[in-house]
Amino acid sequence: MLAACYIRVSTDEQAEQGISIPAQKSRLLSYCQARGWEVYGFYVDDGYSGKDLDRPAMQRLIEDAAAKKFNTALVLKLDRLSRRQKDVLYLLEEIFEPGGVGFKSVTESFDTTTPFGKAALGMMAVFAQLERETIVERVRMAKNESARQGRFMGGPAPFGYRYNFGAKKLEIDEIQAQEIRWIYDRYLSGKLGYGYIAGELERKGVPGPTDERWNKTSVRKILTNPAYAGLVNHKGSVYQGKHEAIISPEKWREVQVLIKSKGAVRAAAGVHTGLLSGIIWCGECGARMRVKNVWQNYPRLSPKKVTKYYVCYSQDKTGSSHMVRDPDCRCGYKHADEIENEVIQQLYIYSYDKVLLRQAVNESLAAAGDKRSFIRGINQARKDFNSVEKKLEKWCDAFEKGALEPDELVERVKELKERKAYLHNHIIEMENRLKEENERKINTEELLEILQNFTRIWENATADERREIVINTIKEVRIYTDNRIEVEFNL
């Protein structure tokens, strides 16, 4: 066996007994003689720290190992190779093992020339992976905590702000902030869209965000960014920020309601030919109903008289066969204008009944569940998660100090990693459920505000905007043979 003996001592370790260069060289030589190994050479890094691999003798060792000039790399202690597990694992897996070079520590049970030594190497890989996962998880949790504390989450400062690196927070750029206030006021006038506002900013010669031209997207981003109301948005959750607001939270919420009422938040999928398309059903058989235009005075073209109906898919078999629920259904052709006018009338009635609206909102929010129980569950899971991390670190330290047997370590790590993975998934699930409940509350309150201002919004809305209002406020409409209409609202 041809052995390369690696020796390292830092400046701080020069005086330590047994760590000096002569002491290490003597121990390594004695070990080789006892084993009958031949010494290829001594690789000595005198006065170098073990924090990285940037050492002259270490680099020579790596080059000679790659050239297969020796069979085994020998050290007195593992930390002579490096004090970082990541570097040790790199040397063992990426340098020594591919070249068929073994590794042996005189004072520790690391000997990759034996099956047991290779198992120890596998355990080191486990800990290296655990270290990487722990770092990623800590970064994620640190970001979440920063958001909860209202800190700016990084990236370019929003238009209207500049970042103060000394104070580590956003500060208002008053010149740009004036434009932000102007954008919000112009949009709240109710008559101007994103494109028109962007055009006015271009005509005024206002520099756009990151010096780009103003467009619909840049205006919409400003109108929907909660940062301007002094809030921090992180992964769908909104927290009170530490920075000063440019506009009031009330004005920001008013803009969000207006955006939603115009259908800018939830656009319709595809082009619909009827106000109720997609939410109207046959009350008799349960099939969907679709719009059908009938040419009443065929084949006359002048004047051409076309009447629009809603008809059940089961009765009108010219559509998709999979939409049919009862081939014998005879719900009938329903005049679309009459049906739509009746539904609109019910929307008016519903919006006028303040007591009914508030009762519906309270019932909807009550169904959302207890928010406090979710928060308690998340906090407990995080506490358990941190406890598991500490235990993993403790067993890792114990193993490195030789206080724990390898087989016992593997079993303990396995159980703890399974527990950690379970808690990680549980926290994500609980956070998602809490987010859904928060969104449900926000959507319910926004919908209430739309209905309370229904008359003004409806009368000023375009045809497309009216459809958006309908599909946001109404869950479904059912029509029966006797022309009875049932409307179920989203509240």
Q: Convert the pLDDT of each residue in 331-381 to its tens digit.
A: 999 999 999 999 998 888 877 666 655 665 565 555 444 566 667 778 888
Q: Report the alpha-carbon distance of residue 333 to residue 23 in Å, rounded.
A: 101
Q: How confident is the model over 387-399, as a mean pLDDT?
A: 80
Which sign does the torsion angle of CA 94, 95, 99, 101 carry?
negative
State the pLDDT at residue 247.
92
Instruction: Return the higher-pLDDT residue of 228 and 300.
Output: 228
pLDDT at 195: 83
* pTM for the whole structure: 0.36
Residue 11 pLDDT > 80: no
Mean pLDDT along residues 442-455: 64
**Pair 198, 215: CB distance under 8 Å:** yes
Please identify which of the residues 10, 49, 237, 387 carries the catalytic annotation. 10
Sequence-ordered list of residues with C-beta below 8 angstroms from that of 120, at least 6 positions apart, any chain: 109, 110, 112, 406
Determine phi and psi for 19, rounding to 5 degrees.
-105, -15
One-character DSSP codes across 369-428: --HHHHHHHHHHHHHHHHHHHHHHHHHHHHHHTT-S-HHHHHHHHHHHHHHHHHHHHHHH
Other Cβ atoms within 10 Å of 8 Cβ, number: 27
Q: Does pLDDT of 190 surpass 90? A: no
Give the whole-angstrom CA distance, residue 316 versus residue 337: 19
CB 486 within 8 A of CB 284: no
Helix (H) or strand (E) holding 198: helix 194-204
Q: Residue 471 has what pLDDT?
A: 79
Class in CATH terms, 161-261: alpha beta
pLDDT per position as a tens digit, 228-254? 999 988 877 888 988 999 999 999 988
Per cent of the chain over pLDDT 90 is 24
d(CA 398, CA 36): 33
pLDDT tens for residues 252-269?
988 888 887 665 333 333
> Between residues 434 and 125, which one has the greater pLDDT?
434
pLDDT of 87 reads 82
**Whether residue 450 has pLDDT greater than 70:** no
User: Does 303 sit behind a cis peptide bond, omega within 30 degrees of 0 on the bond before it?
Assistant: yes
Q: Which has the minimum average pLDDT: 2-6, 154-158, 351-355?
A: 351-355
Pairwise CA distance, residues 287 & 311, whole Å: 10
Q: How far is CA 50 from CA 11, 84, 101, 400, in A?
A: 11, 8, 21, 16
Contact 242, 151 (CB under 8 A): yes
In the residue annotation, 10 being an active-site residue is answered as yes
pLDDT for 135:
60
**Cis peptide leading into 299, omega within 30 of 0?**
yes
Residue intervals in the chain for CATH 3.90.1750.20: 161-261
d(CA 284, CA 281): 9
pLDDT at 48: 87
Give the E-state strand segments of 88-224 in sequence order.
Answer: 102-105, 161-164, 169-172
Q: pLDDT tens, 95-138?
A: 988 888 988 888 876 666 666 666 666 566 556 456 556 666 77
Q: In terms of C-beta density within 10 A (0-12 exposed, 13-18 middle, 19 or more buried), how is residue 181 classed?
A: middle
Is the sign of the CA dihedral 175, 176, 177, 180 positive or negative?
positive
Given this model, what pLDDT does residue 77 score?
A: 83
Is 3.40.50.20 the CATH number for 2-127? Answer: no
| pLDDT number for residue 264 | 37
Quick one: pLDDT at residue 114? Answer: 64
Task: Look up residue 81 and give its amino acid.
Answer: L
Q: Give 273's contacts (C-beta < 8 A, 6+ positions apart).
A: 291, 293, 308
Alpha-carbon 249 to chain mean position: 25
Tokens 């001594």 sit on residue: 42
pLDDT of 408 > 60? The answer is: yes
Domain with CATH 3.40.50.1390 in the chain: 2-127
pLDDT of residue 367: 47
What's the chain's average pLDDT? 80
Position 442 pLDDT exceeds 50 = no
